[in-house]
Amino acid sequence: MDVESILALDDVVAGYGAMTILNGVSLTVRRGTITTVIGPNGAGKSTLFKTVFGVLPARSGRVRFDGADITNMPPRTLIGRGICYVPQGRNIFPELSVRHNIELGGVAAPKGVDVARRLAAALDRFPVLRAKADRQASTLSGGEQKMLEIARSLMLEPKLMLIDEPSIGLSPIMVAELFSILRRLRSGGITVLMIEQNAKRALELSDDGIVLELGRTRMAERAADILADPRIGQLFLGGGLEGG
């Protein structure tokens, strides 16, 4: 596995209006890994993703992807470079079919791509979606809807997937299935950077972990080392983050 960094942030500052949320975040994400970001509410986790994806401008600092400076590039440009973002909550078109929802992921793909091939490949990854391809997306369970969002993002053939709180509202069985999907994405060469409410389980799945606190990187280590650190276990894994 190629372990060079695919994403790096250097002293990034960002926020909303007069409020600064990220207070100089520096971190790296290794290529071909699953990395989970944990931290208390208000630590800046979702703000971090929005800043990387160009939804929220960085006030200072630098974001690099695949060796290039992408600071404050718009989302459409970043999609073309190989970054996709699956935000928190449900983000589907409920009245459209499952197939049409996935096809819409190809709208943002570069011109000239074979959308039909990408659609077939996405459905191959998700047999449950293939079986329900002609049903309205609103008929899917919560877990299947999250699979649909991931499948739609795969129409972009990303190098890096940012996924924010994927397990919210899902049953334990669906969480296990979702995490299995993320493992398969990693095996297929997609780097996954995830925020997850179930911090302990997410770190058990992950290669690396990043702990944010008060808008700064408190720790960036192998996930197993973070799980084994008694300070992190007491502060974040004993109840506060694991449950939400």
Does residue 3 register a pLDDT over 60? no
Q: In the prediction, which pLDDT does 236 show?
A: 64
Q: In the prediction, which pLDDT does 241 show?
A: 39
Q: What is the amino acid identity at position 187?
A: S
CATH topology assigned to domain 1-82+158-244: Rossmann fold (3.40.50)
142-154 and 172-187 helices cross at what angle (nearest 10)? 10
pLDDT (tens digit per residue) in 192-217? 999 998 888 999 999 999 999 999 99
Distance (Å, whole) CA 220 – CA 200: 15
pLDDT (tens digit per residue) in 99-139? 999 999 888 776 777 888 999 999 988 999 999 999 999 99
Q: Domain locations in the chain?
A: 1-82+158-244, 93-157
Q: In the prediction, which pLDDT does 162 show?
A: 98
pLDDT tier, 233 (very low <50, low <70, confident <90, very high otherwise): low
Query: Average model confidence (pLDDT) for the chain?
Result: 90
Which segments of 53-96 does DSSP mark as H helices, in order? 75-81
154 Cβ partners below 8 Å, 6+ apart? Answer: 105, 118, 121, 122, 125
Q: Which residues pair with 165 in a beta bridge?
A: none
pLDDT (tens digit per residue) in 92-104? 999 999 999 999 9
Distance (Å, whole) CA 163 – CA 84: 8
**Any idea which residue has 């369970």 for tokens?**
141
Of 70, 72, 24, 29, the C-alpha closest to 44 is 24
